[in-house]
Amino acid sequence: QVQLVESGGGVVQPGGSLRLSCAASGFTFSSYGMHWVRQAPGKGLEWVAFIRYDGSNKYYADSVKGRFTISRDNSKNTLYLQMNSLRAEDTAVYYCAKGLEPVPAAMPFDYWGQGTLVTVSS
Amino acid sequence: AIQLTQSPSSLSASVGDRVTITCRASQGISSALAWYQQKPGKAPKLLIYDASSLESGVPSRFSGSGSGTDFTLTISSLQPEDFATYYCQQFNSYALTFGGGTKVEIK
């Protein structure tokens, strides 16, 4: 069965960095686009970043562009999110999510991880 | 970025009621719209994709319609397990966006 397990969350000071990981299993990871989505406490969902199946193209929300980097290691079935220059408004639960179909285009998300909490605070 | 406006932001309904949630896009997105259900403390669950396609395993009381800029999620007969927050999402462009959510509460 498909499993996505995030790790790497925690408390970090403003201006600091953090790297999130998402370990995938139960499907052919190298065939699917993958996403990061976040949810601030008590707020709605915000798409963060998308990476194509082969890592050839990456897309970001304006709110994180230039500060966050999405990447993947298909040999390790793992997705990453490198977060730099963190701000208080980046505080959220971060989810990784799998694209519905193995196509290059962005697709809706049929599987999500359980989420990892990132808190940016001094 | 394409903006999605959901309405209402919240509603109260009883078990057995028919519930309709709307989602309006700031520009045409063809049928590139999905609907998710989220319960407190849980990850969202995909209900509908391509505006009207029911995800595998989702009860048939859920249905979606629309194209272009106006979309609807309908729950034909609300069940106790359907009390949750619902989000629309567009995937017409690579800058994906979500609507603000609709919280469905028990009347």
Q: Which residue has the tokens 């998710």?
A: B36
Contact B91 A108 (CB under 8 A): yes
Contact B1 A62 (CB under 8 A): yes
Q: What is the pLDDT of residue A24?
A: 98
For residue B1, list chain A residues with Cβ-Cβ distance below 8 A. 61-62
- Over residues A69-102, the pLDDT tens digits come to 999 999 999 999 999 999 999 999 999 999 999 8
Q: Between A and B, how many CB-CB pairs are < 8 A? A: 54
User: How far, rounded to the nearest angstrom, does the alpha carbon of residue A40 sit from its chain's CA centroid?
Assistant: 14
Enumerate residues 6+ apart whose C-beta is below 8 A from B35.
B23, B46, B47, B48, B62, B64, B73, B86, B87, B88, B89
- Over residues A30-84, the pLDDT tens digits come to 999 999 999 999 999 999 999 999 999 999 999 999 999 999 999 999 999 999 9
Contact B96 A50 (CB under 8 A): yes
- Over residues B72-105, the pLDDT tens digits come to 999 999 999 999 999 999 999 889 999 999 999 9
Encode A44-83: b = buried (16+ Cβ within 10 Å), e = exposed.
ebbbbbbbbbeeeeebbbeebeeebbbebeeeebbbbbeb
